[in-house]
Amino acid sequence: MKIRGGGVQTARGFLFELTGGRLCLDFANTVDNRPTAQPKELLGSYSDLLSWSVQAGALQPADAGRLARLAGRRAPEADRVLRRAREIREAIFGVFSDLEGGRRTRDQALAVLEDALPRALSRLRLVPAKGRFEWGWTREEDALDAMLWPVIKSTAELLTSGELERVRECAAAECAWLFIDGSRNGTRRWCDMTVCGNRNKARRFYSRSKPSSAAGKDSAGRHSARAQSRDG
């Protein structure tokens, strides 16, 4: 099975599966096997955060390289940014998961996002581009959290757009990744048919053919399986 990483190939290869359809959802999906007893943290280090940022398009490779060198000299600050990034990620997941599930949005998750908005949006600027303008970002050489600014902007845009009703949470019991349902009838259930969809089909098949043993069969972790298959 060939796994599609998506995005920009980093110096470390395609490390992340980008199936969310929006930057903020791909960021929320940097935890694998979230609903299980053993969720897998995909942002294990500041270096991982930089790799995700390049692959997802939140940072240019040159900027990521500069921040990597800076983080080497300012390790405590880089660690704080990583913790903050995870906090924001969990808030993003919590808000969209609650909305998709018809639950009341948690106040703490909203508070985290509202606290992050001013710093992110104050860095926006208008950039000339072929006879028009587009959004860009101020260049702050020492901003180790620069990759979070476009993530926060993406979150605010999606929360206030008509696409919000198209946000879905993967129906696979061990997944819960978020994605934009672009299907015509709005009934897409899986973040990635090649992984969760096929896994569910296989589980149903084994349940019919081997009911006594199928319940114990599961994946060792989507991220590790994808990483291995990408190289094949």
Quote the pTM value: 0.83
Domain boundaries, the chain: 23-230
Give me the pLDDT at residue 201, please.
Answer: 54
Mean pLDDT of 204-212: 52
Q: Is the pLDDT of residue 225 over 60?
A: no
Mean of the per-residue pLDDT values of the chain: 86
Report the C-alpha gap between 68 and 47 in whole angstroms.
7
Q: What tens digit of pLDDT does each residue of 133-155 get?
A: 999 998 888 999 999 999 999 99
Where is average pLDDT lowest: 7-11, 12-16, 85-89?
7-11
Domain 23-230 -> CATH class: mainly alpha
| Two tokens, residue 23 | 């930057």
Q: Maximum distance among all alpha carbons in the chain?
A: 66
Q: Is the pLDDT of residue 204 over 80?
A: no
Q: Is the pLDDT of residue 78 over 90?
A: yes
Q: What tens digit of pLDDT does each residue of 27-57 get?
A: 999 999 999 999 999 999 999 999 999 999 9
- Contacts of 168 by beta carbon, 8 Å cutoff, 6+ apart: 100, 178, 179, 180, 181, 188, 189
Burial of 93 (0-12, 13-18, 19+ CB in 10 A): buried
Mean pLDDT of 208-223: 48
Could you say which DSSP state residue 194 is in? I
Q: How far is CA 99 from the centre of its chain?
A: 17
Q: Is the pLDDT of residue 3 over 60?
A: no
Give me the pLDDT at residue 206, please.
Answer: 47
